Amino acid sequence: MTSTHRRRAKLAITATIAAAAVAIPALAYAGSNASDRTGELRKQVIGGKARNVILLIGDGMGDSEITIARNYQVGANGRLAMDTLPMTGEYTTYAVQKDNPRLPDYVTDSAASGTGWATGHKTYNGAISVLPNGKPVTTILELAKRAGYRTGDVTTAELQDATPAVLASHVVSRDCKGPQSMAACAVNAKENGGAGSIAEQMVALAPDVMLGGGKQYFDQTVQAGRYRGLSVLQQAQVNDYQIATDAAGLAKIRSIRPGKPLLGTFAKNNMDLEWAGPKPTSTGTASSRCTVNTARAASQPHLSDMASKAISLLDKASAGSRKGFFLQIEGASIDKQDHAANPCGQIGETVEFDKAVRAALNYQRSHPDTLVVVTADHGHTSQIVETGSTTKGYTATLRTQDGADMTVSYATADITGSQQHTGTEVRIAAKGPQAANVLGVTNQTDLFATMGRALRLT
């Protein structure tokens, strides 16, 4: 410590004591960004090529959902891992109308929005990497795989759910998850000469790592073609997949050699929730804390476990190659619990997603040639309203890390229905090569170009 530093430290201590004496709340001091950060930010503007891209998607994780989770978990002036990325912008998320694609559909679903960053094209709600006319468009994961990168797709939803599906399949409706669920996708069905259901197409494409739920669709029977009569899981097995069905099995997987991809399916449907808590009512609730969801199956890995495992397997498999990997990691049930008007469910998933972000940022620190992007697919319902107030919708009040009460309102549907997505722009944050391209207000489809440029795919 130099004498100047010592003097400064002494001054800081004196200031702290003085502050304590006049009882200024700690809130005024923590996490301050009041200094001039121009030089520091300039250093973070890095162009050129990335060896790896890690894309983290919080489904339905608009600014409101982030703020709710931050207030609850680390306090209003605390910072989540996702808040620490140096480049933060906003992007627009609208879909287009199926019958008239020149017109926007202002509120997107996860299929159209995912198709946006996966392919660079706007499409209609429900479309899985097909244009409004039903024509398939190549995805960022397909391009990366063809170019010799390792690839991964991780989610807490069913692997056939829209967000993971857009990377590795092309169907006209997101509902066509398995070979016996093709009612909305006759044109894509194997028996009609199509490429098959989402589950069949994902297994056929064979990203190196796929981790999530959706076992029920892998158990469906293939209806036509070479694998007719087998389940999709058996189709994977005859193609040399390594299969994991629980956290212990996943921990045992040591490597993913080419031709030996990993399929981990840990739940019949979506994976279990991290947290539980009060159900909002039209007259509000007493203030309470969230609790750990005791009904969660311990055999299921957490999202952060799956994220860390995927990163380490893909890193190891690409060691010694100029080309690293493309990996998408989704926190899916932020959205699903916002639909269900379940504030603690939603916050618990956001906090767990943030742990996955921390794992990606830790990797980025030792592998700075990695582009990390953290974003959402669309906004959602939950709003922070005046403490203790009731609204036209349903509210619950939670006691946050600050020791203060926060009232959360859900008011886009009746409590018995499903709360709706909203049409707001959402946060996109990045670190690493090409990260500066998320600054300002961009379009969701621009993310395809940013990632493609980083990996020299486009």
Binding site for Zn ion (CB under 5 A): 335
Q: Can you state the angle between helices 303-317 and 343-366, rounded to 10 degrees?
A: 20
Establish how many alpha carbons lie within 13 A of residue 339's alpha carbon, considering only the half-sphere containing its beta carbon: 12
Q: Which does 233 bind (CB under 5 to 8 A by kind): Zn ion, Mg ion, none?
A: none
Amino acid at 90: E
The least CB distance from residue 421 to Zn ion, in Å, is: 5
Q: Which does 54 bind (CB under 5 to 8 A by kind): Mg ion, Zn ion, none?
A: none
Longest CA pairwise span in the chain (Å): 79
Query: The tokens of 239 are what?
Result: 């193609």
Q: x/- contact string, 111-150, with Mg ion (CB under 5 A)? A: ----------------------------------------
Nearer to Zn ion, 334 or 454 (CB): 334
d(CA 273, CA 295): 8
59 binds Mg ion (CB under 5 A): yes
* Number of residues lying near Mg ion (CB under 5 A): 4
The least CB distance from residue 368 to Mg ion, in Å, is: 29
Q: x/- contact string, 304-343, with Mg ion (CB under 5 A)? A: ----------------------------x-----------
Q: Which does 265 bind (CB under 5 to 8 A by kind): Zn ion, Mg ion, none?
A: none
d(CA 338, CA 173): 23
Label residues 237-254 b or e (16+ Cβ within 10 Å = b): eeeebbebbbbeebeebe
Which one of the spans 33-41, 106-114, 296-304, 447-455 is the region binding Mg ion (CB under 5 A)?
106-114
Which residues, 6+ apart, have CB-to-CB distance to 420 below 8 Å? 107, 339, 380, 381, 412, 413
325, 151 contact by CB (below 8 A): yes
The least CB distance from residue 153 to Mg ion, in Å, is: 12
d(CA 236, CA 320): 28
Which residues, 6+ apart, have CB-to-CB distance to 111 below 8 Å? 123, 125, 126, 127, 128, 162, 165, 166, 174
Pairing status of strand 325-331 against strand 150-158: parallel
CA neighbor of 250 nearest in space, from 167, 308, 330: 308
Question: Which residue in the list 3, 32, 35, 110 is annotated as catalytic?
Answer: 110
Among 115, 163, 169, 300, binds Mg ion (CB under 5 A): 163
Q: Which does 208 bind (CB under 5 to 8 A by kind): Mg ion, Zn ion, none?
A: none
Q: Which does 163 bind (CB under 5 to 8 A by kind): Zn ion, Mg ion, none?
A: Mg ion
The least CB distance from residue 298 to Mg ion, in Å, is: 24
The least CB distance from residue 211 to Mg ion, in Å, is: 14
CA neighbor of 159 nearest in space, from 196, 129, 188, 200: 200
The least CB distance from residue 60 to Zn ion, in Å, is: 5
DSSP conformation class of 149: -
Q: Which does 332 bind (CB under 5 to 8 A by kind): Mg ion, Zn ion, none?
A: Mg ion
201 binds Mg ion (CB under 5 A): no
User: Does the annotation count 333 as an active-site position?
Assistant: no
Interacting residues toward Mg ion by CB under 5 A = 59, 110, 163, 332
Would you name the residues annotated as active-site residues? 110
